Amino acid sequence: MRQSIALLSFLALSIGAFADTVVWDAIGNGTNQFGSLDLNNGNFSHVSNLGFTPDGLGEIGQTLYTAQSGGTGLYTVNTQTGSTSLVGNLQNQTYYVFGSTTTNLYMVDTVGELYSINPVNGVETALGSTHLLMGSNTVGLSTGSNNLYMSLGANVYSINTSTGSASLLGTSGVTDFGALVSVGGTVYGSSIISPNSVYSFNPTNGISTFSALSSAPDYAWGLAPLTSPSPVVPEPSSFALLGLGMITVLGAYARKRTRA
C-alpha cells in the first residue's frame, strides 16, 4: 500500500508539471489584441482582436471584463472567442485605468480618484482619492488578488479600496509596469520599455525579478488569471517527467505480477 501511494504521488507530481503560469493578456497601442501569456517563458497565444483599445482587465469569479480606454463602456470578454459584450456605461467619467480584486471591479481616473464599478450595469461609485499625481506616467491596476495594486511609473502601490489611499510598496527597479496580475500569491508585471518582458514583484519587500521575454506584439494593458480552459502547451521536460512516472508505475505492476 505504501509503495502504491508513493507511486501515485509521483505520478501526480509528474502531471502537475504540465501547468505553467498562464494569464489572459489584453494589448493596447493600436494592436488591441487579446490572448494568453505564459509568464514562465513569455509565449503569447493570440485569440482575437478586441475592436477597441482595452483599458485593462478585471475578473470576478469566472467572468472576465474589460473597459474601453478613453470611453465609457464596460464589457465582458468571451475567453474562447475573444468577443466582447457591452455591460453598461459610466455615468460621469471615462476610463483611464481599469482592474479588479477577486470580488470587485475598479477604475482610477485622470486625477487619481478611485471608483468601484458595478459589474451588472457598469455604473461608477466614487470611493476616494489615491493622492497620487497621474501626469504622463504609465499606470496599471492589478487583478487576481484580494488586494488592489497599482503601478504608476516605476512605483508600485497598494490601494485601500475603502478610502482610495495609496501606500508605496517599492519600485519596479528596471522598467515601468503597464499591467499587474497576482497568481498564486505572486504579483507579475508587464514592462512597457523594450524589450517587452515579464517580471515578478514581491509586494512584501518591493523587489522585482526578471521572469521572461514576451513574444506578444506589444506590452500588456491588462492581465488576468485564467479561470477557464486555456491553450497551455506542456514543455518537453513535462512530457519526460510524466513518461518517467508512467514507466515507474508500469514497472511496479510488472514486478507485482511476477511475484504473484
pLDDT tens string 72-130: 999 999 999 999 999 999 999 999 999 999 999 999 999 999 999 999 999 999 999 99
Q: Does pLDDT of 46 surpass 60?
A: yes
Residue that the C-alpha cell 465609457 belongs to: 72
pTM: 0.81
Please state which of the ranges 124-128, 192-196, 202-206, 233-237 shows the lowest mean pLDDT: 233-237
> 26: which 3 cell numbers?
489584453
What is the maximum span of the chain, computed from C-alpha positions, in angstroms? Answer: 78
Q: What is the C-alpha R_g of the chain?
A: 21
pLDDT tens digit string along 135-173? 888 899 999 999 999 999 889 999 999 999 999 999 887
Contact 199, 28 (CB under 8 A): no
The letter for the amino acid at 212 is A
Q: Does pLDDT of 245 surpass 80?
A: no
Residue with the bigger pLDDT between 6 and 176: it is 176
Q: Point out which residues pair with 40 in neighbouring strands.
A: none
Whole-number pLDDT of residue 154: 87
CA-closest candidate to residue 87, choices 101, 105, 110, 70: 105
DSSP state of 135: T
Whole-number pLDDT of residue 185: 85
Element spanning 15, H or E: helix 2-16
